[in-house]
Structure 1
Amino acid sequence: MKPLFACVLTAALLLVSSVAQAVELKVLSGNGPRAAVRELCAQFERSTGHKIDLRFGVNPEVKLKIEAGESFDVVIGNPPIVDALIKERLVVGPRADIGRAGLGVAVKSGAPKPDITSVDAFKRALLSAKAVAYPGKGASGIYFVSLLDRMGIAAEMKPRLKPMAAEDTVEVVARGEADMVVVVATRIVDVPGVDPVGPIPQELQTHIGFAAGLSVAAKQPEAAKALIAFLSAPGAAATLKAKGVESHR
């Protein structure tokens, strides 16, 4: 067999083998890191030939779906959510940490950006808004509501608050139906029609973590393990940073 033909044949056989082994993974993910997760999953698809059915929701809803029996291969969520699923023997431990992000503020594109650089300035910005969106059931939303109590403005803010579903938390600002949104900063990334204002004041800041776990009933466990390793590897750090996630490494 001629050397050139042998090389071509080998390459072709490898390609056929790769296609034959390509599988589809179902990934259930919390809504916070959606921009980073979408990009990393797209990179994984390109490098492996596997396909990913990627579905987002707020963390408590993702957990409830899994507890109700929804099938999946990989879950991406806040560490306490993944840990709870491990404890319930629905996810294989230990979890793989991916990164974290703080809370941020965004306004409609072109709108004046309020001063939020201090606690007092942030309070004034909130109280001057007619409507403030936040994730009604998400970890960042729960924390934001607790901050209003801590700042002593919960009663004044109550009529201004717009608790939103996961898929509409930031988009409602782009449509002009809320003046600003307070949410984990990664959720603002890549949403058209909004401008990020910046992080909330450091004195009030918290960090929302992101981690991945393997389903105990994964249909494609080896490919799922490869995806989890890809998401949590040092090589993912640049993409995570570009999408607003501070890598755990």
Structure 2
Amino acid sequence: MNKLRSSRSLLQSAFRTLFATGLFFLLAACQPEDSNSASSESVSKIRVVTSGGFTAAYNELAPRFEEQTGIALQTEYGASSGGAYDSIPERLARGENFDVVILSRPSLDNLSSQGLTAAGSRTDLVRSRVGMAVRAGAPVPDISTVEKFKQVLLDTSSIGYSASASGTYLSTELWPAMGIWSEIERKSQRILSERVGAVVARGDVDIGFQQISELLPIQGIEFVGPLPDEIQQVTTFSAAITANAINVSAASELIEFLSSPAVAPVITAQGLEAVAGND
């Protein structure tokens, strides 16, 4: 009888040991990764939002950056301004989180004044000019002088212009100053959340205006040329780290890469002028 009791006691003790060991490993498996591991994973990825003027150059440069650094880029797109739901200011106003924002400098300065970007993080990347396009196969008008440009606007049946920086300049400054806005407003269409070139390619408007870098990649259009120098608007596109950026070091590395001399040929090929300037 004593031997039976002893055997039973040993079995119960062994069972308790096995149960405790199994419970330990189960709880260990459920524990979150340690802070160093989590930190390492988060640093390997940053979230970026860029406006259209820099998109073509960015899309070509982003894979190079990822390959060189091992940092993954999660990219979103939106206009620099204009009030569209997916514009960069609207997205930040809704509380969307990004590490890096790339947009026109005036719009970026406005975000900075609201405390939405990190102080001293702004870097100018490129200068961009406004251009005009027509549908592929359509007659290409002469806009080489201000008078010829003005006549094209008066003669055309429909005009499309960007809801962002270039379109704001045209509709609120240039065309009113030229004294023709009252005549062309009724046939002009402000394009939201879409490339103006795509609207031209469909034939929805006869001529379209946007940053040259946004027109050049569009299939189905003919790039006519830039606005005459006397009335051209040069827009600087800049990058900055957001005030609530998670990966500041990786964000700084991306901005340094995008403003480096090594990427200038890619930028130039997209109809932009490379610059570099910090706060």
Compute the TM-score of the two structures, normalised by the length of structure 1: 0.87
2:223 counterpart letter in structure 1: P
Query: Counterparts of 2:68 and 2:224 in 1: how far apart (Å)?
Result: 35
**Structure 2: 5+ residue stretches without partners:** 1-39, 82-86
- Aligned pairs, number: 230
Cα distance, 1:245 vs structure 2? 1.0
Structure 1 residue corresponding to 2:76, chosen from 48, 55, 71: 55
Normalised by the length of structure 2, the TM-score is: 0.78
> Residue 143 of structure 1: CA displacement?
0.5
1:33 aligned onto 2:54: yes
Q: Is the 8 A contact 1:101 1:245 kept in 2?
A: yes
Q: Is 1:112–2:139 an aligned residue pair?
A: yes
Matched residue, 1:75: 101
Deviation per CA, 1:191-218: give whole Å up to 9, x if none: 1111111011111111011000011222
- Aligned alpha-carbon RMSD (Å): 1.7
Q: Which amino acid aligns with 1:170?
A: G
Match of 2:126 in 1: 99
Deviations 1:126-169 (A, max 9, x none): 12211111112x11001111211111111110121011013232
- Structure 1 runs (4+) deviating above 4 angstroms are 19-22
Please state how far the C-alpha of 1:98 moved relative to its aligned partner: 0.1
Distance in 2, matches of 1:186 and 1:166, equals: 16
Within 5 Å, which residues of 2 pair with 1:141-220? 141-145=167-171, 146-220=173-247
One-letter amino acid of the structure 2 residue matched with residue 85 of structure 1: L
Quick one: percent identity of the two aligned structures?
34
Quote the Cα distance in structure 1 between the aligned partners of 2:42 and 2:246: 13
**Structure 1 range deviating more: 157-166 or 39-48:** 39-48
The AA in structure 2 aligned to 1:23 is S
Which ranges of structure 1 fall in alignment gaps of 5 or more residues?
1-18
Bigger-Rg structure (1/2): 2
Residues 22, 49 of structure 1: 8 Å contact kept: no
**Cα offset, 1:35, TM superposition:** 0.7
Instruction: Please say if 1:239 is aligned against 2:260.
Output: no
Q: Is the 8 A contact 1:133 1:169 kept in 2?
A: yes
